[in-house]
Structure 1
Amino acid sequence: MTSAEPTDRRAIPSTPGVDIPDGRGRTGLDQTGADLARNPDVAITRVEVTSDGWHVLRRTTFDYRQRDGQWMSQQRETYDRGNGATILLYDESAQTVLLTRQFRFPAYVNGHPDGMLIETAAGLLDDDEPEVAIRREASEELGVTVGTLRHVFDLFMSPGSVTERVHFYVAPYTAADLTGPGGGVADEGEDIEALTIPFAEALAMIADGRIADGKTVILLQWAALNLFARD
């Protein structure tokens, strides 16, 4: 009788978010995008989870058929934080808009003077429908109970690396709609100031750099063409 061949008992390391739960209890995060087949010029070969933080960072390897017909293997990292929604609240009779101001560390560390960005109210969907989510955010951040919503468009804000698609809305408001304290959710570290700004001043703030947030610039420029356009 011969002894069995020795086996390699080294355990294959587990990966949070893949085969064991990550900090949010998720598994299978490496499957996102693996079965995509809508574009015949793209063949996904591997998806790796490279971060198990609150949001998900993935490295995807795929073959891409270029315009000359040649296939090339490429890698891209994608940051998946979920989709979001944003809203411009406006008072047409007073010719004002209601915006927020809050500290944004990523902007601060990348050259913004103090990190205090002036923005339209916004937030992640958190598994809600976009209209539900943006009503929630308007209430939490600005204390406004939103009535009639107008959906403007959906945009990919940083498609080179971030998967997020943002749903854009506008809605009128009056003083009667200010039904709550606003200020954000304290338990989430939010400390948000509400700003009522004349619309003409808001446009001037884009020109001189006081408003430097992309989604806010987009909605204000849309409003200049569609809500506050002069004859």
Structure 2
Amino acid sequence: MSPSVSAPTLAPAPAVRIIDTELLSNNWYRLSKVTFDFQRRDGSWQRLSREAYDRGNGATLLLFNARRGTVILTRQFRLPTFVNGNANGMLIEACAGLLDGAEPEACIRREVQEETGFQIESPRKIFEAYMSPGSVTEKLHFFMAEYESHQQTGEGGGLAHEGEDIEVLELPLATALAMVQSGEIQDGKTIMLLQHAALQGLAGLRV
């Protein structure tokens, strides 16, 4: 018999008092410097300052075909990766976008249509996650959806007036997972979705 494992006992959530919020930039999204008092676990208080970048929340989705064992990904230029060592700035990703006031499911339906040309049915939400909680406020809503070829009603490619030039890729799941291992896929949200698909098995992801 396996030994029972109990959940760890967590310390009470710390008390936080916001002292000041200074807007540093509002050019694209909001960058703020927040000064706050933080109560440590021993009960003492410490004053800290942190910068927080607020670009809103977002949604991401992995399109999969269980019968064929394939997934749909995109490839596009990402400037922050280019200035941080990605030689050509191109990144292979799952579809994603900011909510911009919409509900997560409505957002991801829109983004999938714009980026890949697919009109999806019954996207299934699997979890939520903060992607860079040390500095960015964004929370991502993660979805999966099955696709068939006839659901691709357009070419995709994104919105040219927003600077998007997106290539649509159809890959076997096994190939995509191998590309994670080789470093050809380095996008965090995409790796999470591919690993979820591998753990569950594509047939197990069907709604």
Superposition TM-score, scaled by structure 2 size: 0.90
The Cα offsets for residues 152-188 of structure 1, whole Å up to 9 and x where unpaired, read as 1010000000000000000000001101120000110
The Cα offsets for residues 85-144 of structure 1, whole Å up to 9 and x where unpaired, read as 000000111110000000001001101121110000001011100000000000000000
- SS of 2:156's equivalent? coil
1:171 aligned onto 2:130: no
Compare CA radii of gyration and give the structure with the larger one.
1
Q: Which amino acid aligns with 1:90?
A: F
1:147 aligned onto 2:121: yes
Match of 2:38 among 39, 59, 64: 64
Match of 1:126 in 2: 100
Match of 1:182 in 2: 156
Question: Gapped runs of 5+ residues in structure 1?
Answer: 1-38
Q: Which amino acid aligns with 2:27?
A: G
Question: Gapped runs of 5+ residues in structure 2?
Answer: 1-12
- SS of 1:212's equivalent? coil
Residues 65, 202 of structure 2: 8 Å contact kept: no
Match of 1:158 in 2: 132
Match of 1:223 among 170, 191, 197: 197
Which structure 1 residue ranges, 4+ long, deviate > 3 Å from structure 2? none
RMSD: 1.3
Q: Which amino acid aligns with 1:149?
A: P
Task: Supply the distance in 2 between the matched residues of 1:229 and 1:111 (Cα, whole angstroms).
Answer: 37
Closer/same/farther in 2, CA of residues 40 and 116 from structure 1, 3 Å limit: closer
Residues 64, 202 of structure 2: 8 Å contact kept: no
1:214 aligned onto 2:202: no
Superposition TM-score, scaled by structure 1 size: 0.81
- Count of residue pairs brought into register by the alignment: 192
Match of 1:50 in 2: 24
Task: Supply the distance in 2 between the matched residues of 1:128 and 1:159 (Cα, whole angstroms).
Answer: 22
- SS of 1:48's equivalent? strand
Q: Which amino acid aligns with 2:129?
A: L
- SS of 1:191's equivalent? coil
Task: Supply the distance in 2 between the matched residues of 1:159 and 1:102 (Cα, whole angstroms).
Answer: 24
The share of aligned pairs that are identical, in percent, is: 54
The CA deviation at 1:54 is 1.6
